Amino acid sequence: MIIDRAEVIVTSPDRNFVTLKLTTDDGLTGLGDATLNGRELAVVAYLSEHVVPLLIGKDAHRIEDMWQFLYRSAYWRRGPVTMAAIAAVDVALWDIKAKAAGMPLYQLLGGASRTGLLTYGHASGKDLPELFDSIRSHLSQGYKAIRVQTGVPGLKSIYGIASNATFEANKGVRYDHEPAQRGALPNEEDWDTRSYLRHVPTVFEAVRNEFGPEIPLLHDGHHRMTPIQAAALGKSLEPYDLFWLEDVTPAENPEALRLVRQHTTTPLAIGEIFNTVWDYQQIIREQLIDYVRSAVTHTGGISHLKKVLEYAAQYQIKSGMHGPTDISPVGMAAAMHLGLSIHNFGIQEYMKHGAKTDAVFQQSFTWNDGMLHPGDKPGLGVTLDADEAGKYPYEKAYLPYNRLADGTVHDW
């Protein structure tokens, strides 16, 4: 089973996606997601110029060897561009291997460890009435766990709450508040941590009063706090029993979580911008987190993320894979197969893709009663319709950024 062709496909139905398609000499195809929101073409160049020439003529069965070869031979290691490119090759090869075996991929990964994957969706609102409507709408769709993001009095536009500018620039497609803005320069948002820290606990109190104690609630701090601020937030949210508090401090400094951990029992999740097991080494070993947020797409594929999660399992740390719409249906399918097979699955983030995206990527997963299942077609269970994909050329899109009241650039 020799790799005969490798195509890098860029398409922008609802939003940009980068997909690697490998074809073997016996006609099997495999897909891998290489989408890096706002920096998509960097991965396209890495793949087309540097990786594709290395794939042709290679044995498609040798997945681990290919991973090690792409990782080690480049000399320049890690980072989101490199690891997204390697992930795409890895996932496409797993797709091919599972098709060759005539099995859904999760069977090759050890078989199902559960019947389905608990998902959480994104509820948000600039004020309580809007937030409550959004929570009710998610509950009525079937979500059993909900991420709560809220506007903060005095701030016009913040992460997780679609600003009118983003909504309009995205041509009215809301994607449950996808932050990237198409065809323009980055949207500037504003930020004030003290107002946020005062306001957020009042919102969780109101949500618990309205919706009761049962629903698992999550919240994303999006890297915006200092360690002591994050510790204070974790402590002030303890009465509201969060499922997790995510990305409280900037991810570059894992030691920051020591201080947070010393002060709060609110469970912590981090890692959507991590790329390798080495980013997790300290925080897993020191048990500073409860959930690993890495996506298959950004962490070197199934082969590498499985190693991260096996390491995490030694410390009862669970998966909470990143799954906003910037993970393509191919990346989501890979997450579902991995999540179904591992023992330490925690929860899966799940935002529905738009109708155009679903027409480009035909999928076999199901989402019933808040639970995902990848389906039982051989491989990942996703095919890419080239004609549909060709209708949607790449459109430049930028993620937003933050400034404080005095103009200082801040983490968003």
**Residues at the contact surface with Mg ion, assessed by CB under 5 A:** 220, 272
Residue 147 or 261: which CB sits closer to Mg ion? 147
Residues 268-297 binding ligand KDG (CB under 6 A) are 272
To the nearest whole angstrom, how small is the minimum distance from the Cβ of residue 149 to Mg ion? Answer: 10
Give me the residue whose beta carbon is nearest to Mg ion.
220
User: Stretches 184-192, 322-330, 332-340, 363-371: which one binds ligand KDG (CB under 6 A)?
Assistant: 322-330
Q: Using CB under 6 A, which of 349, 350, 373, 377 touches ligand KDG?
A: 349
To the nearest whole angstrom, how small is the minimum distance from the Cβ of residue 351 to ligand KDG? Answer: 8
> To which residue do tokens 């309009």 refer?
168
- The DSSP code sequence of 291-334 is EE---GGGTTHHHHHHHHHHHHHTTT-EEEE--STTS-HHHHHH
Q: Which of 81, 56, 51, 84 has the alpha carbon at shortest distance from 69?
A: 51
C-alpha to C-alpha distance for 291 and 247, rounded to whole angstroms: 11
Residue 324 site contact among ligand KDG, Mg ion, none (CB < 5 to 8 Å, cut-off depends on kind): ligand KDG
To the nearest whole angstrom, how small is the minimum distance from the Cβ of residue 38 to ligand KDG? Answer: 7
Residue 323 or 379: which CB sits closer to ligand KDG? 323
Contacts of 37 (CB under 8 A, 6+ apart): 16, 180, 326, 397, 399
User: Does 176 engage in binding with ligand KDG (CB under 6 A)?
Assistant: no
Residue 13 or 121: which CB sits closer to ligand KDG? 121
Please check whether residue 10 is in contact with residue 109, taking contact to mean a CB–CB distance below 8 angstroms.
no
User: Does 37 engage in binding with ligand KDG (CB under 6 A)?
Assistant: yes
Residues 216-235 binding ligand KDG (CB under 6 A) are 220, 222
To the nearest whole angstrom, how small is the minimum distance from the Cβ of residue 234 to Mg ion? Answer: 16
To the nearest whole angstrom, how small is the minimum distance from the Cβ of residue 133 to ligand KDG? Answer: 21
Residue 33 site contact among Mg ion, ligand KDG, none (CB < 5 to 8 Å, cut-off depends on kind): none
C-alpha to C-alpha distance for 6 and 94, rounded to whole angstroms: 15
Please check whether residue 295 is in contact with residue 322, taking contact to mean a CB–CB distance below 8 angstroms.
yes
User: Stretches 15-23, 59-67, 303-311, 320-328: which one binds ligand KDG (CB under 6 A)?
Assistant: 320-328
- The DSSP code sequence of 197-228 is HHHHHHHHHHHHHHH-S-S-EEEE-TT-S-HH
Residue 306 or 322: which CB sits closer to Mg ion? 322
Residues 360-399 binding ligand KDG (CB under 6 A) are 399
Q: Which of 218, 183, 144 has the alpha carbon at shortest distance from 367?
A: 144
Q: Exposed, middle or buried by CB within 10 Å (0-12, 13-18, 19+), for 29?
A: middle
Q: Which of 353, 356, 351 has the alpha carbon at shortest distance from 389?
A: 356
Give the Cα-Cα-Cα angle 153, 158, 164 (nearest 5 degrees): 100
Residue 125 or 320: which CB sits closer to Mg ion? 320
Residue 182 or 222: which CB sits closer to ligand KDG? 222
Token pair recorded at residue 179: 């932050």
C-alpha to C-alpha distance for 301 and 36, rounded to whole angstroms: 13
User: Stretches 63-71, 80-88, 300-308, 319-327: which one binds ligand KDG (CB under 6 A)?
Assistant: 319-327
Q: Which of 110, 146, 147, 64 has the alpha carbon at shortest distance from 339?
A: 110
Report the catalytic residues.
Answer: 159, 222
To the nearest whole angstrom, how small is the minimum distance from the Cβ of residue 69 to ligand KDG? Answer: 29
To the nearest whole angstrom, how small is the minimum distance from the Cβ of residue 177 to ligand KDG? Answer: 9
C-alpha to C-alpha distance for 250 and 96, rounded to whole angstroms: 37
Q: Using CB under 6 A, which of 179, 254, 374, 379 touches ligand KDG?
A: 179
* Distance, CA of 158 to chain centre: 19
Residue 94 or 291: which CB sits closer to Mg ion? 291
User: Stretches 202-210, 234-242, 318-326, 373-381: which one binds ligand KDG (CB under 6 A)?
Assistant: 318-326
Q: For residue 15, what is the DSSP state?
A: S
Residues 243-272 binding ligand KDG (CB under 6 A) are 272
Q: Which residues bind ligand KDG (CB under 6 A)?
A: 37, 179, 220, 222, 272, 322, 324, 326, 349, 399
